[in-house]
Amino acid sequence: MTERAANAAAFDGLTCSAPDARANRMAAIVLEQVPNGDAPLRVLDLGCGTGGLIFRLAAALPRATCVGIDISPCSQRPTRRIAASVADVRVARSAFRTTVNALL
């Protein structure tokens, strides 16, 4: 097994959720940086866990397309269920390095 596969396997049974207070703080910090206006936005949450931040941002930014990426399938299950009913929110399973390499 490669190191990458071993690292991914280590997360298979784990979930990660930020406490509400932390997710609210993170959302406030992000929202302070959003330019005013009606321009559509794209938001990427790397390591989205169970989606606490991405869903807060989607609610606050109705013109945004939000994507949450996490390596853990256990985190992705509840996030995917919720995202199915929220417009312009998508989630995917990927390792950070793979995602960054694809974006650069």
- For domain 3-103, the CATH superfamily is Vaccinia Virus protein VP39 (3.40.50.150)
pLDDT digits (tens, 9 = 90+) for 33-75: 988 767 788 999 988 888 889 999 999 998 899 998 888 777 7
Cα separation of 50 and 52, whole Å?
Answer: 6
Q: What is the pLDDT of residue 104?
A: 58
pTM: 0.75
* DSSP secondary structure of 21-65: HHHHHHHHHHHHHSPSSS--EEEEEET-TTSHHHHHHHHH-TTEE
Q: Give the neighbor-by-neighbor strand order of the sheet with 41-46.
A: 41-46, 64-70, 89-93
Surface-to-core class of residue 76, CB atoms within 10 Å of its CB (0-12 exposed, 13-18 middle, 19+ buried): buried
What are the residue boundaries of the structural domains of the chain, listed by start?
3-103
pLDDT digits (tens, 9 = 90+) for 4-31: 667 666 666 666 777 889 999 999 999 9
